[in-house]
Structure 1
């Protein structure tokens, strides 16, 4: 595969049962590239290994004063030099290509898994571990995939050299053939402790990365309570633990490197000593001794690759284990039902008993923001994983079909959940709103069947007029076009209310079958909130919309209000009805205690807070 062909059309389905199986699967996905790298590796190392032959012939030619043999050996060395250069260049190109393509494959797998699980991923895997897999672990996995071809070429060439030496000079060849396997296997007892130390270092590094991510994410809160120094001390302590673990790991690998230098040196001394005795006795010629000596010196080169592959595997195995653990996460059912198009109908949550009628605006009052967030995630097809090993909660039903049974694309196209703290990616406003419409083209209950919601309609409904004006004034190209204005990472250049409204506009442009909004107006003023409520009701007419809120301005515009305290539906009706008949609901909405002495019940025809505000 060429780099210009990236990204992969389909990264495949990984074998994520263990880290070793994942590495093997990754290797099998690029057998062609590995075969090419192995071929060029054999050309390179084979040419290097062949140098002792013309060198020995040249020495013997000088001893015998044979000019023809000397010229022949010189031409052979020149030819081998060309092969060494060509093989080295092409081996490097092929190995690096394998490294990049394998890393790109894992990146695509991680991206696909992220889109499949959504916000449920960070509840099942620590954010620091995901960051570690997406950064440092990819480099180590790619290193192992790259080193395999070089190791294979070195192993094949070493076997060939040993066999050639036994045939060329049996006495010295047997010494070399018996000594090389001993040298290659001598470091095996040291690999398990080295791997354990590398695993400990990786684990500590992952914890330090997670701590750093949490500290950065909560830096504003930490500064508010004066706790930044405390967390800085914790991170400093964690980083020192990582440093000490890295030093312990480096000491073990230094010992392995030392063994790989000392033992081959002893073999070389033994071969020279025995070869000199044979030469003195006249049993071998001087040129043959030089050839054998040069071959033994060459064998020190592939032994370095043995050390590299051992180190690469020890470092990549925990990285592959973490990557496999992330890639093994699945949706509860994984899409068992083959559905044509996007399903439609009532949205029902069997856990809470909530039912959002198709084509209507349903407001949900929980009273607890965390409970509302969990309910929103469940409505979006992300049920929480049980921690006690019990059976997972039943899936939300859309038109009678469990969301967990739908294919991923169908489930994502059916329900869109906007979090209470939506994320705006960096880029222009036009890029932010350039999202595909996920709902069906023709809905039976849709008012306008010809056109989908366009950007202008969505921005108007979300009351983004002042945001567009501010972006137009801040346009970097002086064009005055707000669509060309850039939004910084996570929308840091915008206020909380502006971010909420732009996120709402993006959700409206997506035009999903079911739109779930978790506190979409918590950061805007009451006047803007009232206009957003009117715009939302108008633009989502005939479409299923669920708003989790306790704002009277939004509740008064809803077709139906459902009160869900403690995770179960307690009452349902209109906002006015619940205000007059349900004290607990009234307490949540008006922020007052439901047992306030002397507080009269609100008559059904009494003015609502919205009406009082509009009258004022």
Structure 2
């Protein structure tokens, strides 16, 4: 398995992923735990010192001792305040850095050349995993130091109570494990419902993102009401899951609060009875009651920590599912011999809508490919871009099977410009220039696509800011910009899929001429049914029924092949 897509063995389960997140920031986690423990020790020391003040200073009437113990109390309060401040800083930093590390790992897996992470997942769902789930899993670095501090606080309180009275100390030491076990059992429904909540939220986010991206198409076919109903149903399911998760959290908090209250009442009751029988002093009673009140914080922390860990485990399972998703294609390690001539061959390729198709493209040829079914074009593009390998047959570039090559090297050499390629939130010029290898190729691409004339109609010319996904441009403007970007990349082999469906006939004819001139001597495939583009090609291959039905010039096929004529003229 190639190291670039495989994940460290520790991330193959939710527990391993959380362990790795903690281990990657162990210094911050350990430092936060030590400082938080110092804070809890200080909090426990306060009622102890107050009890000593009552017994040793106030009751004896010695002002010097009173001043000494009050000074010590002030120092303890200052120390515990500093411990709390800096422990929280370290814990928060560990949590955010842990979440950031998970987001980086998720982004790397989604963008991995082998693909596969996106299989069966909407883009919005992956975004939800990389944001909400990553943060919840990262919060384990916040929960663990606080859990350690709570345990330490309980131990300090138990030792202090043992010094006052063995029964009080044993009550805390024996009762605390029972509370921990109870909290663990009560958090299980929260873990299950938190997982479902995140699943539904991710699904709702994915559908929302898809609907926003396709809002123009939905309006064009009048499907707004149907799309809104679909999102409404998904959103309600997400809301119901969130309410169920919140209910589980509320029940956990309520149950732990009630149990904690009973526990603290028992400590106060035992301490009061001991004081009434003269077994402990007034100062020790004050200390016992103060420690009982102090225990509210560490005991409530157990409830909070268990809730956080339950959510972290659920989110970690979702993250691990993405990180360990199998690749869409195996990764070959070979690179193409240079220079690349651009000879492309398909031999017996069977995939989706294709059936044992054979195709030869000579170096430097401008070839048109016409399919009668969109699925056939999609299958061809998937094989060429190595989004998937064919079920049978092979795709070869300069005699080298693509399945044995590094996908990064293949995609840098054989560029497939998809029909729905996206623009980024940047200037129009920067969107095109991002792919340009040299200033000369950039200028040729701009000229070939008439971008200078297009820019004249924009407020800031080529420096006009483009909104996300190019939504601020018309369909034709967006297509010309994405075509210019593909031409500016100037790869040895370029595949263009329907690059002119949103432009007028005059512009389409000009673009056909520009493509031919710019790609002179470089292998180019035009997967389209546009007569203007096909008339500029050297040869056209007609794919029908998943196989090559005819080949020849555009004019010859128009005259001799009725099905081809119907495909390009209707």
* Both structures adopt the same fold (TM-score exceeding 0.5): yes
The answer to whether residue 451 in structure 2 is matched with residue 464 in structure 1 is yes
Aligned-pair CA distance for 1:301: 0.9
- For structure 1, list consecutive stretches of 5 or more residues without a partner in the other structure: 1-9, 385-390, 439-450, 476-481, 592-616
Q: 2:337 and 2:292 mapped to 1: Cα distance?
A: 68
Which moves more between the two structures, 416-425 or 198-207? 198-207
Aligned-pair CA distance for 1:412: 3.0
Q: Deviations over 1:298-341 (max 9, x none)?
A: 22212222212211122233322222222223434553314378
Q: Is the 8 A contact 1:197 1:249 kept in 2?
A: yes
1:55 to 46, 50, 53: 50
Aligned-pair CA distance for 1:160: 4.1
The answer to whether residue 237 in structure 2 is matched with residue 241 in structure 1 is yes
1:496 matched residue in structure 2: 475
2:112 is paired with a residue of what secondary structure? helix
2:26 matched residue in structure 1: 31
1:515 matched residue in structure 2: 494
The answer to whether residue 301 in structure 2 is matched with residue 296 in structure 1 is no
Aligned residue runs from structure 1 range 469-480, under 5 A? 469-471=456-458, 474-475=459-460
2:352 matched residue in structure 1: none
Q: Is the 8 A contact 1:117 1:330 kept in 2?
A: no
C-alpha root-mean-square deviation of aligned residues, in Å? Answer: 2.9
The answer to whether residue 545 in structure 2 is matched with residue 566 in structure 1 is yes
1:354 matched residue in structure 2: 359
Q: Is the 8 A contact 2:44 2:153 kept in 1?
A: yes
Q: 2:435 and 2:154 mapped to 1: Cα distance?
A: 57
- Residues 318/45 of structure 1: CA separation in 2 closer, same or farther (3 Å cut): same
Q: Deviations over 1:393-452 (max 9, x none)?
A: 6664333444444344323322222111221112112321232557xxxxxxxxxxxx67
Q: Is the 8 A contact 2:150 2:301 kept in 1?
A: yes
2:93 is paired with a residue of what secondary structure? helix
2:195 matched residue in structure 1: 199
2:139 to 140, 143, 159: 143
The runs of 4+ residues in structure 1 deviating greater than 6 Å are 340-343
1:372 matched residue in structure 2: 377
- Residues 222/461 of structure 1: CA separation in 2 closer, same or farther (3 Å cut): closer
2:463 matched residue in structure 1: 484
1:604 matched residue in structure 2: none
1:441 matched residue in structure 2: none
TM-score scaled by structure 1?
A: 0.82
- Residues 285/400 of structure 1: CA separation in 2 closer, same or farther (3 Å cut): farther
For these two proteins, the number of residue pairs brought into alignment is 556
Q: Deviations over 1:218-258 (max 9, x none)?
A: 43344445443344344334433333333333233222212
Q: Deviations over 1:46-87 (max 9, x none)?
A: 222222221221121212323333223212221122222212
Q: Is the 8 A contact 1:56 1:291 kept in 2?
A: yes
Aligned-pair CA distance for 1:548: 0.4
2:59 is paired with a residue of what secondary structure? helix
- For structure 2, list consecutive stretches of 5 or more residues without a partner in the other structure: 350-356
- Residues 291/400 of structure 1: CA separation in 2 closer, same or farther (3 Å cut): farther
Q: Is the 8 A contact 1:552 1:589 kept in 2?
A: yes
Q: 2:334 and 2:64 mapped to 1: Cα distance?
A: 78
Q: Is the 8 A contact 2:370 2:529 kept in 1?
A: yes
1:64 matched residue in structure 2: 60
Aligned residue runs from structure 1 range 211-226, under 5 A? 211-226=207-222
Q: Is the 8 A contact 1:11 1:105 kept in 2?
A: no
2:412 matched residue in structure 1: 413
1:517 is paired with a residue of what secondary structure? strand
2:88 matched residue in structure 1: 92
TM-score scaled by structure 2?
A: 0.88
1:7 matched residue in structure 2: none
Q: Is the 8 A contact 2:336 2:400 kept in 1?
A: no
Q: 1:394 and 1:64 mapped to 2: Cα distance?
A: 98
Aligned-pair CA distance for 1:494: 2.0
The answer to whether residue 528 in structure 2 is matched with residue 555 in structure 1 is no
Q: Is the 8 A contact 2:143 2:309 kept in 1?
A: no
Q: Deviations over 1:85-134 (max 9, x none)?
A: 21222122212212221222222223323322598755532334223213
- Residues 293/78 of structure 1: CA separation in 2 closer, same or farther (3 Å cut): same
Aligned residue runs from structure 1 range 373-412, under 5 A? 373-383=378-388, 396-412=395-411
